[in-house]
A = this chain, B = another copy of it.
Amino acid sequence: MYGIILAGGSGSRLWPLSRELYPKQLLNLNFDKSLLQSTFERLQKCTSDIVSITNTKHISNVKIQLSELDKNTTVLAEPVAKNTAPAIVLATKYIMQKTNSDPVIIVVPSDHLIKDNEKFISTVKKGEKLAQQGYIVTFGIEPNYPETGYGYINTSDKLSDGYKVKEFVEKPDLETAKKYLEEGTYFWNSGIFMFKASVLSEETKKHAPEIAKISELFDFTNKTEIPFIDFDKMPSISIDYAIMEKSDKIALVKLESDWNDLGSWQSIYDISKKDENGNVFVGHVLDKNSKNSFVYSSSKLVATIGLEDTVIVETEDAILACKKDRTQDVKQIYETLKQKHDNTHLIHKTVYRPWGFYTVIAQGEGFLTKIIHVNKGQKLSVQSHNYRSEHWVVLSGTAKVVLEGKDLILSPGHSVDIPLKAIHSLQNPYEEDLKIIEVQKGDPLIEEDIIRYEDMYGRV
């Protein structure tokens, strides 16, 4: 069996903790691993052959997180977001070409929460049997209340390990959702699928011929790249619309484990352990008499008094305060910020890089100050800047600085000037993490003002 992890995603619904460039699957949400890492580990219990596919925007973060679990795992990058159908079809083609075989493949989203791995695995085994029989298998969750935020799948005849699927239906209104719940044949759509590679190929040709045709442009025998020029021709469409709703080979297996899509702060609250007043407090929170509220502090003190059914989420540069039953509207805030080109939708003040991370701590006309954290054994690319000079002061650890071909070793308190256009590299070949202050001077001060000469992460 092979696994495909879908690791794209936009990050709008858990704003301000998630951002466009740091979406939900990368967050750890107070568990010890991120949702992506947990998904990978869960899938590892079913197969050791896993391919992840993400957007180029996230590839560096996805690779860093997954390499902690498997140094050699494959991550494909879509050059542009085109929803799930093109991603799944291409990842399937990648597996078929690499292995020259026709395996059963399981496709899983990377941003859902499943705690009971054993029951998940037993569901996968049932799905595998049906997939071997030529079905495209979807995993359905038995609804226990009339949720209006999910798509539903209606089933008909019982099969040995599941059901035949009658139809996929859109997010219903409350009345309709109640009816579905009563009828007992409806399931929530988990977004988890299993199929034999050849079955998906055939069904793609039949129901999404355009995608099938464009996918012929790609050849993964000797490479993993997905060229923009070809991929951009793909229609932007979900696997549900493109194939699942049209094919008559769809079966459903009831997902036996727990499942939560963590699609809003309300759902994060729902799965969290509450105190005796129904509150969930994460981080530095001081409360008097609040009830049934969710308060998340990432750095600063959050003091709360007498709140009820309220969500407060504090991050370095943005704070959300929201009635708990309105957490779906967070997406609107995110979209408004995006329209306004307000960067708080896009990135965190702390930005993760393959070598560590940096935080912009001060910014003004002609200057920008960062704290740069270089993980042990890592180095930034050999680079130069056309529009800015830099001044570095070591705070902790030891820095190896290569400046115009000369090596400098700097201890805490030492500093160095990097002139305009000078070729330089910041390196930490030591056993301790390195922290420096960088003061940039110039105009414009933009990340894009960088010429890379060498890079251990392949970014030249």
Contacts and interface: CB of A to CB of B under 8 A. Distances in A.
A321 interface: yes
B332 A317 contact: no
B289 A301 contact: no
Most central of A15, A288, A413 by chain B CB within 10 Å: A413
Contact size range, A: 35 or more
Interface string A294-305: 010100111111
A320 interface: yes
A305 B329 contact: yes
Interface in A303-334: 303-308, 310, 312, 314, 316-323, 325-327, 329-330, 332-333
A169 interface: no
B362 A371 contact: yes
Contacts of A371: 362, 369
A437 B321 contact: no
Contact of A323 (B307, B312, B319): B307
Residue of A305, A310, A323 with most partner-chain B CB within 10 A: A305
A257 interface: no
A415 interface: yes
Give the 10 A-B CB pairs with smallest separation, nearest first.
A306-B323, A306-B326, A305-B322, A301-B318, A413-B441, A361-B361, A303-B333, A367-B395, A305-B326, A302-B319
A443 to B, nearest CB: 11
A313 to B, nearest CB: 9
Interface in A364-416: 364-367, 369, 371, 389, 391, 393, 395-396, 412-413, 415
A412 B366 contact: yes
Given A333-B286, A362-B361, A303 B318 contact: yes
A439 B437 contact: yes
A371 to B, nearest CB: 6
A265 to B, nearest CB: 10
A451 interface: no
Interface of A: 15-16, 286, 288-289, 295, 297, 300-308, 310, 312, 314, 316-323, 325-327, 329-330, 332-333, 336-337, 342, 344, 361-362, 364-367, 369, 371, 389, 391, 393, 395-396, 412-413, 415, 417, 435, 437, 439, 441
A344 B303 CA distance: 11
B306 A322 contact: yes
Query: Taking each of A300, A361, A412, which has the highest tally of chain B beta carbons within 10 Å of its own beta carbon?
Result: A300
A288 B333 contact: yes
Contacts of A412: 366-367, 441
A301 B391 contact: no
Given A310-B310, A395-B367, A301 B329 contact: no
Contacts of A322: 303-307
Given A367-B396, A369-B437, A307 B321 contact: yes
A158 B425 CA distance: 85
Contacts of A300: 316-319
A393 B391 contact: yes
B326 A321 contact: no
A371 B327 CA distance: 37
Given A303-B321, A367-B396, 9 more contacts: A288-B329, A302-B321, A303-B330, A304-B321, A307-B323, A312-B319, A364-B396, A364-B435, A366-B396
Contacts of A297: 319
Contacts of A323: 305-308
Considering residues A303, A312, A361, which has the most beta carbons from chain B within 10 angstroms of its beta carbon? A303
Contacts of A320: 303-305
A231 to B, nearest CB: 34
Nearest to A302: B319
B310 A333 contact: no
